[in-house]
Structure 1
Amino acid sequence: MTDATVFERYCTEIVEQNRLFRETLKPGQLDAPVPACPGWTLRDLTIHLGSDHLRAAQLVRTRADTFVRPDTVPGYGGPAELAEAAATDTYAELLGEWLSACARQVSDELRLAGEDSPVWTLTGEDRAFFWARRRTLETLVHRADAAQATGGKFEASPELAADGMDEFLELTSSGAALRWWPAMRTLAERDGDSLHLHATDTSQSDAAEWLIRIGKEGFGWTRAHEKATTAVRGPVADLLLVLTRRLPPTDERVEVLGDRELLDFWLERVGF
């Protein structure tokens, strides 16, 4: 599959994942706390998600070559009319419509730009393809946050969840991550140890397994089946939730083998 084909799928998936997120926005639930985002309500999470779509859209539209501050993005934080409607019965519907419009905007800007258009990114990849993937997969994880907040069920295709695993590891193993998050530099305390993440719901021909090797400077990873200091097994969507600290590794949906302390050590330090 070519980059262009994958890029188009991301542009479509941005809209679809936000449609699924929007289904959680029910009257009376917007003040529900989001466990994975302490201090945030479902309303806050929705505004964060839509606002970051708008920032990515501006980055792509202007072909920005540096970070764009939120206060320079039109509509960031939600439009004034949305705030004015906060106490009305139609607020949930209006919030959902705004989120959908934000998702369509970034999807449209990405399509107009094309996957190879130069634009600033978090990792130095510096092309629009990065933002198509980032907006898709950030929405995927925040869908899980919204489901936890409302008591709903989170489901994701194994293919998309595995892509979320890949992207998370790419971002957190980058040199930028070591600069941004000091806790990442303390991974060296477990230099030489390793983690094996094994999805149990993919076919043998499409096996999803990851081997993470901790070193003196962060970590490296590959898709591989090898013995490790610690192994974590479970459905790939649940592995993604463990990796992004949305599901405790003590949950019965996953199985931890070997040195559990290493997994706890890792989860305390790796993330964004």
Structure 2
Amino acid sequence: MIDLGHARYCDEIVRQTDLLRATLVGADLSAKVPTCPEWTLGHLARHVGGAHRWVETIVRTKASADVPEDEVPDFVGPGDAEPAALDAWLAQGAQKAADTLRAAGPKTKVWSWSADRSAAFWARRMTHETVIHRADAAIAAGITFEVAHDVAADAIDEWLEIVAWSQSTGADEEANELRGAGRSIHLHATDAPDALDAEWLIEFGEDGFTWRHGHERATVALRGPLADVLQAFYRRLPADSDRVEVLGDAELLDFWLARASFG
């Protein structure tokens, strides 16, 4: 299991936001985001910046309940007609979130929508929220998405944990369907260093699914560079893309991808 550590997560919130900002420089903010069809690039930027400010408010106030968006200072941000102001707003929000999370420390108890009600949860969640939306922005802008191997592997770990949590609560009907003994999915990053253990085995059971790191035969395997496996597993890249390889029962992978969610 990968653990980047609280300080690294705080640093990554800023780093990933800086990379997102670089993607948006000179881009048409009214351009549609194919992987988030209801959004433009401007909407995506404000979603990320608003999320950073929301989490910063939750942690700073040690909230014991969800904080409504209208109670978050400067939640909405500038419009598309002010790209320089939007860029500065993104940078400021990421830095504020990172500073507040760093000052709080990982063990500070705060509200979250998950079973883990700590500042550590939010530092990790905001890292990967920003990573995945940076992938969305790269796709919309037509540029290559790149991400550090350990960050990408941890994003897959976190996604599996979220889907498993969603299934365990019984609240997500689609996640509840991820069951049925005798089936399995293997994720295999072909370009990651051996020490990273960037392989995953998801095993379906009658009561749900479990997962672990490991290299074993499975009903279906998804293979490719780690950044592309991450994007495919997060439904940012089609599973039939020539950038990844699907071996075995492709319908099982499609079954997973259609149902893996959290809310």
Bin the TM-score by the shorter chain: over 0.9
Q: How does 1:146-157 map to 2 (within 5 A)?
A: 146-157=137-148
Q: How does 1:1-272 map to 2 (within 5 A)?
A: 6-27=5-26, 29-78=28-77, 82-83=78-79, 86-87=80-81, 91-175=82-166, 178-188=169-179, 190-272=180-262
Query: Would the aligned equivalents of 1:210 and 1:221 in 2 still touch at CA under 8 Å?
Result: yes
Does the residue aligned with 2:200 lie in a helix, a strand or coil? strand
Q: What is the Cα deviation at residue 122 of structure 1?
A: 2.6
> Structure 2 stretches of 5 or more lacking a match?
none
Query: Would the aligned equivalents of 1:65 and 1:119 in 2 still touch at CA under 8 Å?
Result: yes
Report the identity percentage.
46
Q: What is the Cα deviation at residue 203 of structure 1?
A: 2.3
Query: Would the aligned equivalents of 2:220 and 2:248 in 1 still touch at CA under 8 Å?
Result: yes
Query: Would the aligned equivalents of 2:186 and 2:200 in 1 still touch at CA under 8 Å?
Result: yes
Give me the TM-score of the superposition, normalised by structure 2. 0.94
> Structure 1 stretches of 5 or more lacking a match?
none
State the distance in 1 between where 2:18 and 2:83 align: 14
Counterpart residue identity of residue 16, structure 2: Q
Query: Would the aligned equivalents of 2:152 and 2:227 in 1 still touch at CA under 8 Å?
Result: yes
Q: Count residues with an aligned counterpart.
A: 261
State the distance in 2 between where 1:170 and 1:261 align: 23
State the distance in 1 between where 2:121 and 2:27 align: 36
State the distance in 1 between where 2:101 and 2:196 align: 29
Query: Would the aligned equivalents of 1:212 and 1:222 in 2 still touch at CA under 8 Å?
Result: yes
Query: Would the aligned equivalents of 2:150 and 2:196 in 1 still touch at CA under 8 Å?
Result: no
Query: Would the aligned equivalents of 2:167 and 2:176 in 1 still touch at CA under 8 Å?
Result: no
| The 10-residue stretch of structure 1 (228-237 or 61-70) with the greater mean CA deviation from structure 2 | 61-70
State the distance in 2 between where 1:205 and 1:114 align: 28
State the distance in 1 between where 2:103 and 2:27 align: 38
CA RMSD of aligned residues (A): 1.8
Q: What is the Cα deviation at residue 204 of structure 1?
A: 2.6
Does the residue aligned with 1:23 lie in a helix, a strand or coil? helix
Query: Would the aligned equivalents of 2:224 and 2:245 in 1 still touch at CA under 8 Å?
Result: yes
State the distance in 2 between where 1:36 and 1:17 align: 19
Q: Return structure 1 stretches of 4+ with deviation > 6 angstroms.
A: none
Q: What is the Cα deviation at residue 175 of structure 1?
A: 4.5
Cα 1:214–1:71 shift into 2, 3 Å = farther
Query: Would the aligned equivalents of 2:189 and 2:223 in 1 still touch at CA under 8 Å?
Result: yes
Does the residue aligned with 1:144 lie in a helix, a strand or coil? helix
Counterpart residue identity of residue 20, structure 1: L
State the distance in 2 between where 1:97 and 1:35 align: 25
Query: Would the aligned equivalents of 2:110 and 2:119 in 1 still touch at CA under 8 Å?
Result: yes
Does the residue aligned with 1:174 lie in a helix, a strand or coil? helix
